[in-house]
Amino acid sequence: MDEADCGVSVLPKERMNPESPAWHKPVMVEEVLRYLNLRPGSTVVDATSGTGGHSLAILPHLLPNGCLIAVDQDPKAQSIARQRLIEFQPSVHFASGSFRNLSQILSALHISKVDGLLLDLGMSSLQVDSPERGFSFLQEGPLDMRMDPTAKMTASDLVNTQPEEQLLELFSQLGEERFANRIARHIVAARRAVSITTTTQLAQIIVQALPAAARRGRLHPATRVFQALRMAVNDELGALSALLSQLPDLLAPKARAIVLTFHSLEDRPVKRAFAQGEDQGFWKILTKHVVKPSREEVLRNPRARSAKLRAIERC
């Protein structure tokens, strides 16, 4: 295995607690560590390092002589991770960009194969709790939703320019929204009068589009449409599929890869790719049944409630 020159660093005790006050509570940390089966000297990629919660838990297990490659496409999250992980320098390399380009990211660091990889999909608390990023229908903000702020298309561009049929398809496929039809129609009618530029403006249009009974469900009526827009703006399924297809080449023998998903649209392609890879003899699946967070964790961190963990080991 080729390795970047990562060096050795000191273990700062106060930064090692993954539950310490942070921007995003990392999910299923114990299970992630158990399935990654980390060893000193290994090279591991945290492909969605966010504000660095999982990275912080992983790094101590790689020392001495190991290194972590922390990838994220959100520069704000990454600058927080840089500060949180500063004491692990030079054992951590930060790469800003999409994990869809992981092979190129690693080759730029002269790494051809890794011993472990973590993918923790979806958005971070930092993103959803920052109204100016436009991910939340509960807070007023620009209808943006880009994880990578240099990306060209925002959610506002989508809702203001896509034909009604495209919006319908988007909300049905990526949001599994029952009322996609009505919502798409209402959006197109509303934007004739004025452009839809804020989160709360869109949330209100969605609520008005629904029959009264459907406004009172467990989920906020805008949940599914916001999920669909976020997934489309960031091409989340495209990036996931690109990464899954690189796994056979990127994993060293005995390397482990872990994927955490938060809804079935993400979990299905992972389950399928893992099963196909096992049939082709690339790896064995370590999680015959999907692993879910403990009740205690869900009580502590309700955002973990829909998490599903799948793991493989390269042959």
Ligand X SMILES: C[S@@+](CC[C@H](N)C(=O)[O-])C[C@H]1O[C@@H](n2cnc3c(N)ncnc32)[C@H](O)[C@@H]1O
Please say which residue, 94 or 99, places its beta carbon nearer to ligand X. Answer: 99
Number of residues that bind ligand X (CB under 6 A): 24
Nearest approach in angstroms of CB 156 to ligand X is: 19
Please say which residue, 68 or 71, places its beta carbon nearer to ligand X. Answer: 71
Q: Which residue spans within the chain are E strands per DSSP?
A: 43-46, 67-72, 92-96, 114-120, 251-261, 283-285, 308-314
Residues 199-228 within binding reach of ligand X (CB under 6 A): none
Out of 15, 24, 146, 308, the residue judged to bind ligand X by CB under 6 A: 24
Out of 28, 33, 42, 50, the residue judged to bind ligand X by CB under 6 A: 50
> Which residue carries 């049944």 as its tokens?
289
CA dihedral over 144, 96, 223, 158, signed as positive or negative: positive
In DSSP terms, which residues pair with 312 in a beta bridge?
A: 257, 285
Q: Which stretch binds ligand X (CB under 6 A): 43-51, 107-115, 166-174, 203-211?
A: 43-51
What Cα–Cα distance (Å) separates residue 153 from each residue in 129, 188, 268?
Answer: 21, 18, 26
Does position 239 interact with ligand X (CB under 6 A)? The reply is: yes
Among 65, 22, 74, 20, which residue's Cα sits nearest to residue 47?
74
Nearest approach in angstroms of CB 72 to ligand X is: 4
Among 88, 93, 90, 28, which residue's Cα sits nearest to residue 59?
88
In DSSP terms, which residues pair with 114 in a beta bridge?
A: 251
Among 240, 232, 236, which residue's Cα sits nearest to residue 155?
232
In DSSP terms, which residues pair with 309 in a beta bridge?
A: 260, 291
What one-letter code names the amino acid at 217? G
Out of 3, 31, 74, 115, the residue judged to bind ligand X by CB under 6 A: 74
Does position 59 interact with ligand X (CB under 6 A)? The reply is: no
Binding mask 117-136 for ligand X (x = CB under 6 A): ---x-xxx------------
Q: Which stretch binds ligand X (CB under 6 A): 52-60, 161-169, 219-227, 247-255?
A: 52-60
Nearest approach in angstroms of CB 52 to ligand X is: 6
Please say which residue, 126 or 205, places its beta carbon nearer to ligand X. Answer: 126
The contact set with ligand X (CB under 6 A) reads 24, 26, 48-54, 71-74, 77, 98-100, 120, 122-124, 147, 234, 239
